[in-house]
């Protein structure tokens, strides 16, 4: 009989460029379910990801990396109001919490759609950064996908970065 502390060799799930389509589906489903809003894809955004609110959820296990959602503070506040009611507009913490929860749900929905990830990949508690002047550097080698979703003419950036 094996003890609970003896683990079999960990299985890793390699990055797949087709995950972009899966991330698009996961994000669109979550925004519709959680905020009751139908977003559209921006297939060719003119700019790099920007915005004053960024939510991050780490991934560890069969897939190591991070999922992020980045948007303007105004968009984050509007999404919070859709999720939590109008009182969220006057409470900046509500916008941060709502964006963090959206990011957590997108990461969870994404990993549930990938064979071998549902139970073999853990998610961290969401972290939210407020501000625009930062850069995120990741360990090499890294792969990833970024999608732009449109809400009221503003882009909402969803990114998955993985490490092999």
- Give the DSSP letter of residue 52: S
Q: Which CATH number fits domain 19-31+50-163: 3.40.50.300, 3.40.1550.10, 3.30.70.270, 3.40.718.10?
A: 3.40.1550.10
- pLDDT digit string (tens) for 80-102? 999 999 988 899 899 999 999 99
**Around Cβ 1, how many Cβ atoms within 10 Å?**
3
| 116 backbone φψ class: left, alpha, beta (φ>0; ψ -120 to 50) | left
Prediction pTM value: 0.91
Dihedral of the alpha carbons of 23, 133, 129, 123, in degrees to the nearest 10? 40
- pLDDT digit string (tens) for 102-135? 999 999 999 999 988 989 999 999 999 999 888 8
């Amino acid at each position: 009989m094996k003890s609970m502390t003896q683990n079999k060799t960990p299985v890793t799930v390699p990055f797949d460029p087709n995950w972009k389509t899966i991330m698009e589906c996961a994000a669109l489903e979550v925004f519709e379910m959680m905020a009751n809003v139908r977003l559209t894809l921006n297939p060719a955004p003119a700019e790099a990801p920007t915005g004053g609110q960024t939510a991050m959820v780490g991934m560890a296990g069969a897939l190591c990396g991070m999922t992020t959602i980045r948007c303007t503070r105004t968009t984050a506040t509007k999404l919070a109001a859709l999720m939590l009611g109008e009182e969220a507009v006057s409470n900046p913490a509500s916008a941060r919490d709502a964006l963090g929860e959206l990011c957590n749900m997108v990461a969870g929905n994404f990993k549930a759609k990938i064979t071998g990830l549902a139970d073999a990949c853990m998610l961290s508690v969401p972290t939210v950064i407020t501000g625009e002047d930062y850069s995120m550097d990741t360990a090499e080698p890294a792969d990833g996908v970024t999608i732009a979703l449109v809400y009221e003419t503003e882009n909402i950036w969803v990114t998955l970065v993985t490490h092999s």
